[in-house]
Amino acid sequence: MKVSFCFVKYGNEDMWSNFFEMFHNRVRIEDRSIDCDFEILIHDNSINNVGLVRARNELLTQARGDVMCFMDYDLELIEFHWKIMALMALENGVGIVFPYCHGMSSKHESWYNEWEDKEVMPCNCFFISRQLLNELGRFDNKFHTAYADWDLIQRVHQDYTCMMQHNRSFVIHLDQPKSKEKVKIWEMDHAHYLEKWQQDLDRSKL
């Protein structure tokens, strides 16, 4: 098994350097009893800004992994069992696998259940098998930055595959303030998401 870690760099050199040092340390000390290789792919949007979504799709053309991991770098990796999450992503019936993210639920359930089936995910770090991603289709390039992950979640649900949260893996999202320009882009992405999925979202409320 091989995992392709895909990163889109977009500025803030200090945050990137600090995260990447932490990431390397976490990845290399993970359980060596699990036979798993990895590669790291980076698109630098600070040099060639094609938007987060197009950049991820460009990285997909380079990736050689059986499992893809898409990760933001405004994260603190408290516990990061990436091999275990990658193995789960290859299981039949599993769509997306992700770590527990602080702020997504009221309490951390790691002392009760290692795995939880979830309807939503934080989108800042997730694993998905290449095979499933090929079946579902890549990220929708009509999105620029946001909601392409939510669009993918909707397609996963339509495929009747589940999303699994690994409670032994724990990350903290260091949310950054958004500029007026970025807020406008998010609003446009949200409008496209609703255009695609509003009827499905309305039916789910019935």
Q: Which two tokens stand for residue 144?
A: 């620029």
Q: What was the pLDDT predicted at 112?
A: 65
200 pLDDT higher than 50: yes
What is the rounded distance in angstroms from the CA atom of residue 152 to the CA atom of residue 149? 5
CA angle 159, 163, 164 (to 5 degrees): 150
Q: Comparing 160 with 104, which gets the higher pLDDT?
A: 160
168 pLDDT higher than 50: yes
What is the rounded distance in angstroms from the CA atom of residue 34 to the CA atom of residue 31? 6
Average pLDDT, the chain: 88
**Locus of tokens 């340390």:** 25
Supply the DSSP symbol for 180.
H
The widest CA-to-CA distance across the chain, in whole angstroms, is: 48
pTM metric for this prediction: 0.90
Task: Render pLDDT for 39-86 as a digit per residue (tens, 0 to 9).
Answer: 999 999 888 889 999 999 999 999 999 999 999 988 999 999 999 999
What is the pLDDT confidence band of residue 193, given thresholds at 50, 70 and 90? very high
Q: What was the pLDDT predicted at 27?
A: 87
What is the rounded distance in angstroms from the CA atom of residue 144 to the CA atom of residue 49? 10
What is the rounded distance in angstroms from the CA atom of residue 131 to the CA atom of residue 99? 21
Q: What residues does 107 pair with on adjacent strands?
A: none
Domain residue limits at 119: 2-204
**How many structural domains compose the chain?**
1
What is the rounded distance in angstroms from the CA atom of residue 45 to the CA atom of residue 62? 16
Is the Cα dihedral 177, 181, 184, 186 positive or negative?
A: negative
Residue 174 CA neighbour count, 13 Å, CB half: 13
CATH number of the domain to which 171 belongs: 3.90.550.10
Q: What was the pLDDT predicted at 205?
A: 60
31 pLDDT higher than 70: yes
CB atoms closer than 10 angstroms to residue 13: 9
106 pLDDT higher than 80: no
Strands 37-44 and 94-101: unpaired
104 pLDDT higher than 70: no
